[in-house]
Amino acid sequence: MQVEFTQHALARMAERGISRDEVLSTLDHPLRTVNAENSRFEAQGWIERSQKRMLLRVICENGAIVTVVTAMATSKFEKYGVAP
């Protein structure tokens, strides 16, 4: 799969300490994928931060090339329908 990153995504990833490898790993092997607004999808996966499990949320636009719009990590598992 071909993946590109918007400037917004790269800036947010840098602010949040999320690497390209973490995003690409989540896209390759998502815990689950859910539909999002505006014909986008969200790939979810696990990452570790300070020995704490976090849910990585990667918002993308689907097309010939998958475009990463933003990425964020959260510990609010129940809000996003997953169990740690």
pLDDT at 28: 96
pTM, two decimal places: 0.91
Q: What domain range is 11 assigned to? A: 3-74
Residue 69 is predicted with a pLDDT of 97
Q: Cβ atoms within 10 A of the Cβ of 56, count?
A: 22
Does 84 map to a domain? no
Residue 11 forms part of a structural domain: yes
> What tens digit of pLDDT does each residue of 16-72 get?
999 999 999 999 999 999 999 988 999 999 999 989 999 999 999 988 899 999 999
Q: Give the pLDDT confidence score for residue 47 in this predicted structure.
A: 95
Does residue 23 form part of some domain? yes
How remote is the C-alpha of 54 from its chain's centroid?
A: 11
Q: Are 11 and 69 in contact (CB under 8 A)?
A: no
Does 82 fall in a domain?
no
Place of tokens 């995003």: 23
Nearest-angstrom CA–CA distance, 60 and 69:
5
Residue 83: inside a domain:
no
Is the residue at 81 inside a domain?
A: no
For the chain, the domain total comes to 1
For residue 20, the domain's CATH number is 3.10.450
Q: Assign 82 a pLDDT band (cuts: 50, 70, 90).
A: confident
* H or E segment to which residue 35 belongs: strand 32-35
